[in-house]
């Protein structure tokens, strides 16, 4: 019997046997190799998303793996192929889909939140969600493709141009990936992050990082931009203080790109929006072109994915890894190793 990591109630995860079922028509069965734990998984773990999640819920949507079996009618895919999954299922009929925005379908099934995710030894998904990985790309690094696709989408939504000055508020995995993608697009980037461990890691990647607890970030931005303010700010912290920072650093006609999931409404200094003619842009998920670009950025090393991986644990240790991340431990990205070999080694 194969194992799965399940969310059962606020702050409670377990590992339980999960049967492997033959893929239906148009589906494939995968053997997930590595699955990342994401800030959104932590929101679920906190109980912030209980209204949306049906328990017990198998978590996990940042993954890499190989095809085990293909269902009837699946063409172009074979057992053994290395893949990642764009974990979206849309209805193609709602107003959002008809307008061409399938990735934010009004009835979106986000696989790993709304339906069972990848933190298990076998996982069946629609073949339409598969994204091919180059054989040369190690599967642990490939688990960072999904959050990189988020970053590619966000940098696109904010229309970051070469030479622009960009502030990323929140230097967790998603914030650092946004900073790296924006830098690759030619932007001049600063990261604002509370955790000393995460600041150091971002600095090691060549990013300039500020501590909002110890430094006057708005004043540093004034000095850096010759009193103009930044062109773009990304809110990737999910915290009220992060929203304030992102609004305060923007110059005239600046764009605030909202990436984080805020579990409750926030106060926003709207006077600043009026005074400086600011724009607020929401950014959610990604589309297939973002994913394909993300595969290329991870494969060519523009995103040094291996540097962001702090720790790799077998399925049985995933609950403890959530606790570590929750405690703000000195970690960036934790991967769960879902391979059969890793579970045997852990017994």
Ligand X SMILES: NC(=O)c1ccc[n+]([C@@H]2O[C@H](COP(=O)([O-])OP(=O)(O)OC[C@H]3O[C@@H](n4cnc5c(N)ncnc54)[C@H](O)[C@@H]3O)[C@@H](O)[C@H]2O)c1
**94 touches Zn ion by CB under 5 A:** yes
Q: Which of residues 267-296 bind ligand X (CB under 6 A)?
A: 283-285
Which is nearer to ligand X, 127 or 167 (by Cβ)? 167
Question: CA dihedral defined by 323, 309, 66, 130, rounded to 10 degrees?
Answer: 90
What residue 91 binds from Zn ion, ligand X, none (CB within 5 to 8 A, per partner kind)?
A: Zn ion
Would residue 61 show up in a list of annotated catalytic residues for this protein? no
CB burial of 144-182 (b: ≥16 within 10 Å; e: otherwise) equals bbbbbbbbbbbbbbbebeeebbbbbbbbbbbbbbbbbbb
* Single residue of 33, 139, 179, 259 touching ligand X by CB under 6 A: 259
Q: Single out the residue of 29, 54, 47 nearest to residue 118, CA to CA.
A: 29
Q: Which of residues 185-214 bind ligand X (CB under 6 A)?
A: 192-195, 198, 212
C-alpha span between 231 and 24 (Å, rounded): 49
C-alpha span between 13 and 56 (Å, rounded): 9
**242 touches ligand X by CB under 6 A:** yes
- Which DSSP letter does residue 317 get? G
Would residue 43 show up in a list of annotated catalytic residues for this protein? yes
* Single residue of 87, 156, 173, 314 touching ligand X by CB under 6 A: 173
Which is nearer to Zn ion, 54 or 93 (by Cβ)? 93
| H helices present in 253-314, as ranges | 270-276, 288-299, 305-308
Which is nearer to ligand X, 63 or 150 (by Cβ)? 150
Which is nearer to ligand X, 243 or 295 (by Cβ)? 243
* Single residue of 3, 6, 29, 39 touching ligand X by CB under 6 A: 39
Q: Which chain residues interact with ligand X by CB under 6 A?
A: 38-40, 43, 150, 169-175, 192-195, 198, 212, 236-239, 241-242, 245, 259-261, 283-285
Q: Which residues are catalytic?
A: 40, 43
């Amino acid at each position: 019997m194969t194992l799965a990591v399940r969310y059962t109630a606020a702050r409670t995860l377990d590992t339980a046997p999960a049967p492997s079922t033959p893929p239906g028509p148009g589906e494939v069965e995968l053997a997930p190799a590595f699955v990342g734990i994401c800030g959104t998984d932590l929101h679920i773990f906190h109980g912030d998303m209980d209204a949306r999640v049906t328990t017990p819920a198998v978590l996990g949507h940042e993954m890499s793996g190989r095809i085990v079996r293909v269902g009837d009618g699946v063409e172009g895919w074979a057992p053994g192929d290395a893949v990642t999954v764009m974990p979206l299922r849309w209805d193609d009929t709602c107003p959002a889909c008809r307008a061409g925005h399938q990735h934010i379908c009004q009835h979106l099934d986000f696989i790993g939140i709304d339906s069972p995710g990848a933190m298990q030894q076998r996982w069946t998904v629609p073949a339409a969600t598969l994204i091919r990985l180059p054989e040369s790309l190690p599967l642990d690094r490939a688990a960072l493709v999904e959050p990189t696709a988020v970053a590619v989408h966000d940098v696109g939504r904010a229309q970051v141009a070469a030479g622009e000055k960009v502030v990323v508020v929140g230097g967790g995995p998603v914030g650092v990936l946004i900073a790296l993608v924006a830098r690759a697009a030619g932007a001049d980037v600063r990261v604002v992050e509370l955790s000393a461990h995460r600041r150091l890691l971002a600095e090691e990647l060549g990013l300039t990082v500020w501590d909002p607890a110890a430094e006057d970030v708005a004043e540093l931005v004034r000095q850096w931009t010759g009193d103009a303010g930044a062109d773009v700010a990304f809110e990737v912290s999910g915290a009220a203080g992060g929203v304030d920072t992102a609004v305060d650093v923007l110059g005239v006609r600046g764009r605030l790109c909202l990436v984080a999931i805020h579990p409750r409404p926030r106060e926003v200094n709207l006077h600043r929006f009026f005074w400086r003619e600011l724009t607020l842009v929401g950014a959610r998920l990604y589309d297939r072109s973002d994913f394909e670009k993300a595969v290329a950025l991870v494969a060519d090393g523009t995103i040094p994915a291996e540097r962001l991986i702090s720790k790799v644990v077998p399925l049985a240790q995933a609950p403890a890894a959530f606790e570590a991340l929750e405690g703000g431990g000195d970690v960036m990205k934790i991967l769960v190793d879902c391979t059969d070999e890793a579970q045997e080694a852990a017994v």
